[in-house]
A and B are shown apart, each in its own frame.
Chain A
Amino acid sequence: MALLQVDRLRVEFPARQRTLVAVDDVSLSIDAGEVLGVVGESGAGKSVTGAAIIGLIEPPGRIAGGEIRFAGRRIDCLPDDAKRHIRGREIGSVFQDPLTSLNPLFTVGQQLVETILAHSDRTAADARRHALRLLEEVGIPAPAQRIDAYPHEFSGGMRQRVVIALAICAAPRLIIADEPTTALDVSIQSQIIALLKRLCREHGTAIMLITHDMGVIAETADRVAVMYAGRIVEVGPVRQILRSPNHPYTQGLMESIPRLGSDSAPLAQIDGAMPRLHEIPVGCAFHPRCPDASERCRETRPALRMVADSASVACLLFDDGCADD
């Protein structure tokens, strides 16, 4: 059984004239110890999906349909207090910008200790010892000296390590990492990715890695889900999708990644832009930009269906099982 099972999730934001659908009929699952990459342009609904899982959709946004199960238990309709016990304890979070994720007026030690105390019965002294161990584990040098420092006294990369330490305070079984490296320097990015991978390996923690960076996905993820305009267009093992993407959008994404050593044609790009939430077209959301769009794509919305051993794609080209192009 999967650790996290999301079924037909739908998230809506009521706006002035109409209701915007940020996440539309999204299903995905993560197994224990697995890294699922969720990739897509900004506004594709990746972060909202993550927020929905931990029950932190900003009002007036709301989950309008579907269900979320964690370790077999339904968590999307729990009371607030029960949701809080899942956050941090069962599911840890890492946010994009380590500069703004930490409260500037409290030392990192204070923020670690309060998180540990919120999820365990440790004494304050014990919590502090645990905080020191955590800082050491995420690779903060000389944690005993740094624990009483304020966030602004850390560099960006070190702050992200502190954020990760906060995420693993209560040894959660799943970490939702929303663009954990986007705000960091390139040289730091790989260190943070390596840290996440190590934690995943050593503790068997599953990770939902939300990013727009295919490179990070390639390096880290076991499986990848590609999102477009609030929907999942393709999902499958990362190698398979990187090697032979099925959905025209994924293909476009792959072709737009610069490759070293291949002096092939100029970098391809997908024409147009992802539609904004209030102008998502009927039918396949990608059809206005799709090179292979047919008349049917304008009317029929494709469902996600299995095309190879373990890869699924939502595209009418594959609708009748004849996936030969």
Chain B
Amino acid sequence: MTSFEFRREFFADERQGQLNEIGKPTIRQDILGHVTGRSPYYDDHLFDGLLHMRCVRSPHHHARIVSVDFSEAARMEGVRRVVGPDDVPKNLNTLLSLIGFGKEDEPLLTPSKVAYRGEPILAIVAESERQARAAVQAVRVEWEELPHVLDVEEALKPNAPVVNATYPGNTFEYYDKYDHQKLRFGDVEQGFAKADQIVEGSYRMSPIEQAPMETCGAIAVPETNDRIACYTSTQALFFSLATTAKLLDMSSARLHFVGGTVGGGFGGKVDSIVEPMSVLGALLTGAPVKFMWDREEEMQVGAPRGAELWKIKDGIDSRGRIVARSFTGYFDSGAYTRLSSYAVVKATGHLPGPYSIPNVASNVFCVFTNRTPATAMRGFGITGVDFAIECQMDRGARATNMNPIDFRILNAYRDGDMKAHRRLAKNTALIECCQVVADKARWIIGSQSRTQSSLRGGGGEKAHVPATVIDEEGRIGDRRRSDVPTAPHSAGGRKRRLPEGSLRGEDVVAAPPQNPDMLGDAPASDPAASPENGRTLARPRFGPPAEVQVDRPRPRRPQARERPAIPAAPARPSTRRPLRRRTSVSRHVSGFRRR
């Protein structure tokens, strides 16, 4: 526990109170069960007459099912039921449909075409696990192998095999229009043109299996009152319950889910597969049914963290400042969407990392390949791109002959800076982290870096949303890939700009901020903005763009298309918290002083 140090001053306005727990050992409330072996994991519920369910799985990455003959398996000793795709009432789903995001693209049991190795097409319910395994072996499947694609860039080529029929372009569809998620802030092309040098890098991450000690599984048990109880390893109990109700087309009131004791998850237990499978088994047999992945299944069909490919281009000026950064990202979703569409949105919100860069552009693709579907794992969508960004920072430091920590501190974001997704940075501490890391690693940093602070030098000009390039149709770039460069589509050479301060691009009206903190710093009369605080932030402009600036003269847009005005946030200086409350906080931090 001694390895934790809580540096309260960075979070003074986030967390009030003394935070006495941090840095001190606390005995877990569930640990008595753990050390006595009595914690109730899902498989620690015993039921008389428990049946075992196992799946017939695809041995191929991509194949059409020509025929399935389970007549022999159905006659084998102990086999109670063969469960096929027709037994699933709504056999097409996408996980995030529960929040209305994405199209249904994945069957629970696949009827016609498999798109990854290990994809389930049939299940056997038998009296013992051994009998279920033997029956699975006895199912005869005739496959017609199809060409497969296992690489994101290959999957985007024009003649690539179509992995997922719901998305024939092999990409998730954002907003029903875009085959990628897009971010534009300023004008990267102009930034690159002004830069002293360009540094490019390409970074690949492999999939990572979460490999929890307890494999995914669930036991479904018919209860009285026409209900089914489901004991499950899930990390997302209600998500799994709702997904089960949806796939099995039954009222969620008929489902009684029991969980919460999870033998490790790390994101790998949110996909809600074992629950509908076991509940379906219990519905069809009227008996308790366990559906548990063995270790091999956990490794082969358990959804991992997806593979990622990031291409980053930086423009760096003569002083070592990054003036423009563009990304093209490819997130390998595997054969189905699961949660990768969301990972891409998360990743995009994270760009360009913890640095203040005036011009940022990105196109990030959620790509379908014939790999195992990817899902959540510890910071998915963020971890991979952070790896890429930090490798790129080292590369930038080498290119500019700078100490990599000095290079980071020079480019670090500070409180009050406008981030590329148009929110003000607050509670930033990258500079201080770098200083502490340098101390701990006995890494010499420049005297300039030593005196920097996240509290100073932010805001001002850097609080503004820069004018952002759009094309003549008002878009910030192509909707579909055409080897998508991160430059805006510029047919006819006519580029326009969303004026400085605009929060969104076309046809989306920015909602008024819900939290007054998002408006930036307190008014000048606020004590937090006193000279002692060292800075006064300009407030970003919220509201419709006043006028569209055009690089070349062209007719003004019709007035009718102008957006409704957005009400200004209420000015409530008495209740607004200052961006950072520092009055009672010691400036002294072990190892260094703030100035």
Query: Does B associate with A?
Result: no
